[in-house]
């Protein structure tokens, strides 16, 4: 493959979801198998249409499929079944095992994802970053360690304008206005 052919290729590092400050949402409509499943797993939140199908087809091609992050997300038993069987599971089974967080009709998929993204976009970036870090790092800690880590992450925010506005808006039963921070 020459350099000219490579100019149109975008390589995506599937581990980057942990490093990005942005929340990521996968909208799955149709098949999410092999690399498509990996891309969905790289997102923080996965929402599927009723048409969605999920599977690990690598076993069918004599290829090794690394079990993480599937193991972490759906648990060892469900991950092992998907990895070793090569079977497809539908959206409702994906919801049951925790692979997706919501199943909607195909017509509602994009509006649902756009609504969630818009709501997430209204929250202060600093709070989203701290929450995401606490979730990803804390999952490998004991409950006590995770609690301490979360407190340490949120300490700089406690006495900030962001925190004051959030508390005031809650007390006044109004939507918070975080200004430039919520970008």
Q: Where in the sequence numbering do the catalytic residues fall?
A: 38, 58
Residue indicated by tokens 């990803």: 136
Q: Which two tokens stand for residue 75?
A: 């648990």
pTM, rounded to two decimals: 0.76
pLDDT (0 to 100) of residue 7: 42
Q: Rounded CA gap, 167 and 176, in Å?
A: 9
Quick: pLDDT tens for 131-178. Answer: 888 888 888 888 888 888 888 888 887 778 887 888 888 888 888 887
Quick: pLDDT tens for 5-50. Answer: 444 433 344 444 456 778 889 999 999 998 889 889 989 999 999 9
| Strand, helix or coil for residue 58 | helix
Specify the CATH superfamily of domain 123-181.
Lyase 2-enoyl-coa Hydratase, Chain  A, domain 2 (1.10.12.10)
Domain ranges for the chain, please list them: 16-119, 123-181
Q: Rounded CA gap, 160 and 148, in Å?
A: 20
Quick: pLDDT tens for 62-78. Answer: 777 666 788 888 999 99
Q: Rounded CA gap, 162 and 42, in Å?
A: 29
- CATH topology classification for 16-119: 2-enoyl-CoA Hydratase; Chain A, domain 1 (3.90.226)
Backbone angles phi, psi at 99, to 5 degrees: -70, -35
Q: Rounded CA gap, 82 and 26, in Å?
A: 19
Q: Which helix (H) or strand (E) holds 34?
A: none
């Amino acid at each position: 493959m020459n350099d000219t052919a490579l100019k149109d290729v975008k390589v995506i590092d599937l581990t980057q979801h942990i490093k990005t400050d942005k929340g990521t949402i996968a909208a799955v409509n149709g098949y999410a198998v092999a690399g498509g499943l990996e891309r969905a797993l790289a997102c923080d939140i996965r929402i599927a249409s009723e048409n969605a199908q999920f599977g690990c087809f690598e076993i069918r091609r004599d290829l090794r499929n690394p079990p993480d992050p599937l193991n972490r997300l759906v648990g060892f038993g469900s991950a092992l079944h998907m990895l070793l069987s090569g079977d497809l599971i539908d959206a409702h089974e994906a919801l049951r095992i925790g692979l997706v967080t919501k199943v909607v009709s195909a017509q509602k998929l994009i509006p649902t994802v756009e609504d969630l993204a818009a709501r997430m976009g209204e929250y202060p970036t600093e709070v989203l970053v701290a929450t995401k870090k606490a979730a990803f790092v804390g999952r490998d800690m004991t409950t006590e360690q995770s609690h301490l880590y979360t407190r340490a992450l949120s300490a700089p925010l406690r006495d900030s304008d962001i925190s004051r506005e959030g508390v005031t808006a809650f007390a006044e039963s109004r939507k918070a206005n975080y200004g430039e921070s919520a970008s």
